[in-house]
Structure 1
Amino acid sequence: MSQDQSGAADAAPTQRVSALQSYQQRLETASAELAELKARDGVFAKVRLALFLFSLVMFGTAAFSSAGALAWSLAAGLFVAFFVTAVLNEPLRQRMEQCDRRVAVCDRLVARCQRDWEALDWKSTRKLLTGLELTEHQKDVADDLDLIGRSSLFQLVSMAGTSVGARELAIWLSGPATSTLAKQRSQAIRCLGKLREKRLEFYSQAQAVGGGSGGPEELVRWSHEEDWLPKRSWLMHWANASAMLAVACVVVAVGWQAFGLSAAAAQGALVVLMGLLGVNFLITTMMLSPAHQIFAVVMASRDSVFQYEELFQAAAWLDDDPDTKKNPLLKELTEQLVHDPKHSAVAGMRSLGRVAWLGSLRNSAATFLLYLPLQAFGLWDVRVLKRLEAWKATQREFIAQWFTAFGKLEALMSLAALRDENPDWCFPTWTDGKQDAEVKFTSQRLGHPLLTDESRVCNDVQVGPTGTILLVTGSNMSGKSTMLRSVGLNVALAGTGAPVCANELCLPSTELSTSIRVRDNLAEGVSFYMAELHRLKGVVDQARALDNRNDLTSLFLLDEILQGTNSRERMIAVAQVLRHLVGCQAIGAISTHDLELADDPELASMSHIVHFRETIVPGSEGAADEMTFDYQMRQGVSPTTNALKLLEIVGLGE
């Protein structure tokens, strides 16, 4: 058996506990730990509040009573205790945030396995796709097949926490399914499928970075922007002069007697210090807002930079496993993210982390009191910005490469979870080149990946070879559209390198074209029929564009096409559209409940006809008849129709 010919027997690494059971166990453990941490944090909050209030009371007592030094000392001690408590509470808060992310990750993983679309938060996922650019053709296919959007294949597959990973995965899903790329990705996904522990930690870290105020695309954009400080070089000169002048004034104010100076000199030093404070306050509030925005983008917090470093460092985990270490795609990503000693993503983020430590003084409760005098008298933010722009000068040309590589790794990590969670899904095999007379899509027990295992009905489906179409007939609600989407969704999965929802699947390098959800546009004066013609024109144009390419086949999926005209003209029009597509060596399937189409000699001559049917169960004791569907695909034209029976069942019969 070749590497790409693995079915259910080779579909996933052996696991002592199934993915869903593992996720549920981890969710229970993380939830219990989070509840315990919240209780401890509540105790800290009460202690902090008590210390703060008592310190205020003692300061008031010392100021308005004769208690003297003892009251001042006690007030100062209480305030120091409040400060120490706040510092000690900060690691607990960080642990709470980490635990909260683990809960969210496990919650999402459980919801994925159970196809619980309400629990899969689409709002947060949609934000990660901001800026995603697809062609109109790709948007149409994505809408028709539920590739991207609420309750979509993307929502099922994606565990991306950052925008670069989410967009990379969306592009893979909506792009052509090419054998070369798919095979490379499949090999990597097989390797990553075994690393469940590492993946869960990776998802949690990615979620932390993605939830920050800065984002990878913002950092990349900043790396190409002109530096802010060189045009305001006087700020650095003033920061140096201000710091030296402040030090001199402090020395004079504190040691004026030791230097034999007068009290007036000390008072003058204090006045200068107040002046420096005022000037630097104005500079901070009126001029340094752009610098603070840069800090928010590049190093939203010291932790976010370290989290980026840890995320990039995740590629080093791959060296621990002999299979992942040898995989060409993962080896290439590891080189860019880890192994280049000067310009790898890890080395770059490590050096940025040193700058971020300096910048984090203003964001931490433990160091804010240190930051205040540094900024007030030495413009600390200007000094941090100078270091930051020096870092950018050395790493500018590599930053975009880091995040491109990371986006690919994050997409592969998402797809690896799909492999781990569905051990009975298979990796497809590929046929290359149109010179093969049997260019076709063939599958055994093909299913709809967005349905649960309990509700999914699988069928053996073949589309092609070239020169033929699959004509799917059947009654309303019998499963025709679901079958078309099953083909399209599995082609999209195959293109990403992921396993597909089938026991076996063989296909050529393929680009999808669809006409399933067609909408009129009253604002633009486009009727439903004209909108459908435009969509079909796009499908034919795509087939023509691929006709001369030996490496890519057009696979079309058309659902109930040309409904907006009479039956006679519809048969003629459908046959003409299909002649165009077949003439371009495209393969595809169309569905219809109009049995007259299946009777048309020209359509019948180029079609392989199958059908879905319903079963009518007579109601007992005057009850209404019941209609059931088994969603099994059978050969030949549908022998039944159900429109009038459905009318009767809903109470609109004669």
Structure 2
Amino acid sequence: MQLPINQEYQQRVATKSAELTVLNKKINAVSLFRLFVIVGGAILIFQCFRTEIVWLSLVSVLFVLLVFMGLVSKQSKLERIKKAAEDERWVNQNELDIWAGKPNGYADGAEFFDSKHPYTSDLDVFGEASLYALINRCSTPEAIVRLAGWLDKAADPSTIAERQEAIKELAAKLNWTQRVQAGLLFNRQEKINYERRFATYLNSPLLNFAGKALRLYVKVGPWLLLLAIGLSFFIKPFTGIAVVIGLIHLLMTIGYAGTVTRVSAGIDKMSNVLAAFAAVFKQVETEDWQSALNKRLALQLYFEGKQPVSAAIKDLSDIISRLEYRNNMLIGGLYNIFLLWDFRQVFAVLAWRRDHQGHVLGAFDAISHFEALISLAALHRNHPDWSLPEISNSGQRSLVAIDLKHPLIPALQSVANTYRMENHRIALITGSNMAGKSTFLRTVGSNMVLAFAGAPVCAAHMLVSVVHLVTYMRIRDSLHESTSTFKAELDRMQMILQSVECDKEAFFLLDEMLRGTNSVDKYRGSKAVIQKLIADQGTGIVATHDLQLAKLAEENPGIVQNFHFDIQVHEGEMLFDYKIKDGECTIFNASMLLRQIGVIIEE
């Protein structure tokens, strides 16, 4: 029996915590054993040297060194496993935090906030407690930008359908999606655009490093040194020759150090990062995909549809890791004296670039796409009562929403409403103060944003045409721009009217127009605006306190239809049901609300 998703997350947190307890004990045991090997090994080597038996002394040193290196390798492996377990635990704990109403640990998209955008600022799309903050599970900068783009611009119907199919498949792959999230979590913390950095490196000119003679010597030089060392045991002059060859190798390394640095610039210290990306690439490559979009993205991780990118990136990671030995003066010096190490790794880097330069960046693009889809899939998985909307292709403007709720209001506090745009193009909503008009407009708009991104909506069912949203809700003055509230309203209204006039796909949501002027001009101006929207064949929803505007429904049958939110008064107490109803509002509550704060209005 499948657990409810929040219980599944709790169980996974508990499992990973137990794993980490065991891992910490193992790591501590290995650390203690390393200390024992250092102390015990020193005693062993000392005793062997006292025997003055050369071969025994050398064997003891080699034995202690091998045991110590084995323990270092073992601890490094345990540390990697521990880091992976910590990341997976964080991913699950973050889901529990979101479930409990705490902030999402991923970015909230505040950098994308734009007060002049047609709808994102009015509908809480970006920033704290926003749609983006609810949805985002992206770590890489590319994915963060991609997901934002999906929310601030409607996709076409075929793209929406592809995304819906993809997120249904991903939502069922909890283990896989969490491994990918955990594998990329390092980028959430570091906030470095590794794809751009890597692309800059790959697109930089290839250095013409070394001629044929040097390349040939790099191949034979270490063998010459080995031969000289071997012969020195039998022919004494070869000892000096071996020393000279070693010094030549060291001087060559020093002489070419600047060139080696230029070759590695841009990817130095990236071996662990590339290894992490390679592991994520492999997760995609080895998964069985059914949806068309996921299959197409997975193909971007193969060269010409055959060789996996993960193997190539892992090869480069290993080369860089070996090149980083040069950062340790002792190890780097010995490796370069005996093996001309830096030269070999630089040649390997240049060969890798020639073979793969134009083929790997598509893999990073595919991963950012998967991250954005995983974000939508998490929303689908976490809210099984939400539905994937049906996108209308009838050519007629459609909007049917059954049991529609605001996606950012907790389920126990939200009220479901059903709305059908039938026999009208403009819904005119009147109503009492605080009865739910503004929230309803944001509910419709927020769910449209989700629908047009390919995400599930907070409704039992939704049928909607792809439209271009424009909103008029939160109008602010601006000291910085020397703009009054009324001027800001006029600027916003001009944008709305131009959008409706020029774009037949525009859909407006207008909440209480022209608040910054007197009541007479407010009514006359609002009426004129609605009449222009009617004349321009506009479609949308208008919320207002001006009851006189309700007469527009009588004057424009089949175009404007009245709806309202009201209150019930029981024993002097106001009761709100936040339900949309047909017709104009007949119950108002401003006097009662003012009376509650000590202001009495004369009858």
Q: CA RMSD in A?
A: 4.0
TM score, norm. by length of structure 2? 0.84
Q: Which amino acid aligns with 1:348?
A: V
Choose from 581, 588, 600 the match for 1:634. Answer: 581
Q: What is the match of residue 155 of structure 1?
A: 133
Q: Which amino acid aligns with 1:110?
A: L
Alignment of 1:575-654 (within 5 A): 575-592=527-544, 594-595=545-546, 598=549, 605=556, 607-614=560-567, 629-643=576-590, 645-646=592-593, 649=596
Query: What SS does the corresponding residue of 1:563 show, helix, strand or coil?
Result: coil
Gap change, CA 1:235 and 1:615, over 3 Å in 2: farther
Cα drift, residue 96 of structure 1: 0.4
TM score, norm. by length of structure 1? 0.78
Q: What is the match of residue 144 of structure 1?
A: 122
> Which segment is superposed worse, 599-608 or 446-455?
599-608
Choose from 258, 261, 282 the match for 2:234. Answer: 258
Number of residue-to-residue matches in the alignment: 595
Alignment of 1:324-343 (within 5 A): 324=290, 327-337=291-301, 342-343=303-304
Query: What SS does the corresponding residue of 1:589 show, helix, strand or coil?
Result: strand
Matched, 1:280 2:253: yes
Alignment of 1:78-227 (within 5 A): 80-112=66-98, 114=99, 116-118=101-103, 120-123=104-107, 139-207=117-185, 215-223=194-202, 225-227=203-205
Gap change, CA 1:617 and 1:375, over 3 Å in 2: farther
Matched, 1:539 2:496: yes
Alignment of 1:238-317 (within 5 A): 241=217, 244-245=220-221, 248-249=224-225, 251-252=227-228, 255-256=231-232, 258-261=234-237, 266-267=239-240, 269-270=242-243, 273-274=246-247, 276-277=249-250, 280-281=253-254, 283-284=256-257, 286-296=258-268, 299-301=271-273, 303-314=275-286, 316-317=287-288
Q: Which amino acid aligns with 2:131?
A: L
Q: C-alpha separation between the residues in 2 aligned to 1:237 and 1:357?
A: 26
Q: What is the match of residue 458 of structure 2?
A: 501
Q: What is the match of residue 554 of structure 1?
A: 506
Query: What SS does the corresponding residue of 1:143 show, helix, strand or coil?
Result: coil
Cα drift, residue 502 of structure 1: 0.9
Cα drift, residue 156 of structure 1: 1.8
User: Contact conserved, 2:301 with 2:309, CA < 8 A, in 1?
Assistant: no
Q: What is the match of residue 524 of structure 1?
A: 481
**Which digits, 9 at most, give the CA deviation of each residue in 1:265-307, with x for residues without a partner?**
74575366346435524643x4544444432487444632431
> Which segment is superposed worse, 487-496 or 344-353?
344-353
Q: What is the match of residue 521 of structure 2?
A: 569
Q: C-alpha separation between the residues in 1 aligned to 2:332 and 2:360?
A: 29
Q: Which amino acid aligns with 1:96?
A: K
Matched, 1:419 2:391: no
> Which segment is superposed worse, 498-507 or 203-212?
203-212
Q: Which amino acid aligns with 1:87?
A: S
Gap change, CA 1:86 and 1:607, over 3 Å in 2: same
Cα drift, residue 92 of structure 1: 0.7
Q: What is the match of residue 359 of structure 1?
A: 320
Query: What SS does the corresponding residue of 1:294 show, helix, strand or coil?
Result: coil
Gap change, CA 1:650 and 1:39, over 3 Å in 2: farther
Q: What is the match of residue 401 of structure 2?
A: 443
Cα drift, residue 405 of structure 1: 3.4
Query: What SS does the corresponding residue of 1:453 show, helix, strand or coil?
Result: coil
Q: C-alpha separation between the residues in 1 aligned to 2:156 and 2:513?
A: 28
**Which digits, 9 at most, give the CA deviation of each residue in 1:43-100, with x for residues without a partner?**
33344355556768999x89xx989789998787655544332111111111101111
> Which segment is superposed worse, 187-196 or 241-250?
241-250
Q: Which amino acid aligns with 1:317?
A: D
Identity between Structure 1 and Structure 2 (%): 22
Q: C-alpha separation between the residues in 2 aligned to 1:172 and 1:423?
A: 22
Q: Which amino acid aligns with 1:474?
A: S
Gap change, CA 1:534 and 1:396, over 3 Å in 2: farther
User: Contact conserved, 2:5 with 2:381, CA < 8 A, in 1?
Assistant: yes
Cα drift, residue 347 of structure 1: 1.6
Unaligned runs of 5+ in 1: 1-14, 319-323, 548-552, 619-624
User: Contact conserved, 1:571 with 1:600, CA < 8 A, in 2?
Assistant: no
Gap change, CA 1:345 and 1:143, over 3 Å in 2: farther
Q: What is the match of residue 34 of structure 2?
A: 48
User: Contact conserved, 1:513 with 1:554, CA < 8 A, in 2?
Assistant: yes
Cα drift, residue 646 of structure 1: 4.6
Q: C-alpha separation between the residues in 2 aligned to 1:33 and 1:117?
A: 26
Q: Which amino acid aligns with 2:275?
A: D
Q: C-alpha separation between the residues in 2 aligned to 1:95 and 1:343?
A: 33
Query: What SS does the corresponding residue of 2:120 show, helix, strand or coil?
Result: helix
Q: What is the match of residue 436 of structure 2?
A: 479
Q: C-alpha separation between the residues in 1 aligned to 2:440 and 2:38?
A: 66
Q: C-alpha separation between the residues in 2 aligned to 1:626 and 1:122?
A: 43
Matched, 1:468 2:440: no
Q: C-alpha separation between the residues in 2 aligned to 1:428 and 1:352?
A: 39
Gap change, CA 1:204 and 1:241, over 3 Å in 2: same
Q: C-alpha separation between the residues in 2 aligned to 1:345 and 1:115?
A: 45
Gap change, CA 1:254 and 1:516, over 3 Å in 2: farther
Q: C-alpha separation between the residues in 2 aligned to 1:258 and 1:449?
A: 83
Cα drift, residue 491 of structure 1: 0.9
Matched, 1:432 2:385: no
Q: C-alpha separation between the residues in 2 aligned to 1:381 and 1:604?
A: 84
Q: Which amino acid aligns with 1:328?
A: A
User: Contact conserved, 2:429 with 2:437, CA < 8 A, in 1?
Assistant: no
Q: C-alpha separation between the residues in 2 aligned to 1:228 and 1:37?
A: 44
Q: C-alpha separation between the residues in 2 aligned to 1:336 and 1:638?
A: 57
User: Contact conserved, 2:268 with 2:320, CA < 8 A, in 1?
Assistant: no
User: Contact conserved, 2:427 with 2:560, CA < 8 A, in 1?
Assistant: yes
Q: Which amino acid aligns with 1:303?
A: A
Gap change, CA 1:577 and 1:363, over 3 Å in 2: farther
Cα drift, residue 565 of structure 1: 1.4
Cα drift, residue 407 of structure 1: 3.2
Q: C-alpha separation between the residues in 1 aligned to 2:38 and 2:534?
A: 80
User: Contact conserved, 1:615 with 1:627, CA < 8 A, in 2?
Assistant: yes
Query: What SS does the corresponding residue of 1:611 show, helix, strand or coil?
Result: strand
Q: C-alpha separation between the residues in 2 aligned to 1:352 and 1:153?
A: 35
**Which digits, 9 at most, give the CA deviation of each residue in 1:178-236, with x for residues without a partner?**
3222222223333333333333333333435766767334334444x123423xx2389
Q: Which has the higher contact order (CA 8 A, sep 6+)?
A: 1
Gap change, CA 1:194 and 1:312, over 3 Å in 2: closer
Cα drift, residue 135 of structure 1: 8.8
